[in-house]
Amino acid sequence: MSRNARKFPNREALVYGDTRLNYRQFNARINRLGHALMDLGVKKGDKVAILAYNCNQFMETYFALAKIGGVAVPINFRLHPQEMTYIVNQSDAKVLIAGEISWKP
């Protein structure tokens, strides 16, 4: 991502709904999130659970973890809450990042 931000800073990198980010913007957001995760104590090899719809924030989290050496543990939002709890507990995730998810039984 850093290479593309240097070589093609104004090219479109991500489109999600009304959100359009070029490589410079996308890389800056990824870097800020990566630093925030490190401030929370996430280190190389640490697992971070991600519970979110397919969205730009999911991609930002995924790339931020790759940059800092973290391991993404994506959780399917269609699972029952008990199944989600089981996955988070068994994954040894140090952090859980959750987007706005609505669940109706």
Is 104 a member of any domain? no
Number of domains into which the chain is organized:
1
Structural domain includes residue 103:
no
Q: What is the mean pLDDT of each run of 10 residues along the chain (105 residues)?
A: 91 94 97 97 97 92 97 94 94 92 59
The CATH number of the domain holding residue 22 is 3.40.50.980
**Domain, as residue range, for 68:** 2-98
Residue 71 resides in a domain: yes
As a whole number of angstroms, the distance between CA 89 and CA 92 comes to 6
Q: Is residue 58 part of a domain?
A: yes
Burial class (CB in 10 A: 0-12, 13-18, 19+), 95: middle
Residue 61 belongs to what H/E stretch? helix 56-68
- Which helix (DSSP H) or strand (DSSP E) does residue 41 occupy? none
pTM for the model stands at 0.87
CA distances from residue 92 to 28, 46, 54, 73 in whole angstroms, order as listed = 28, 8, 23, 10
Note the pLDDT of residue 42.
97
In a domain? residue 105: no
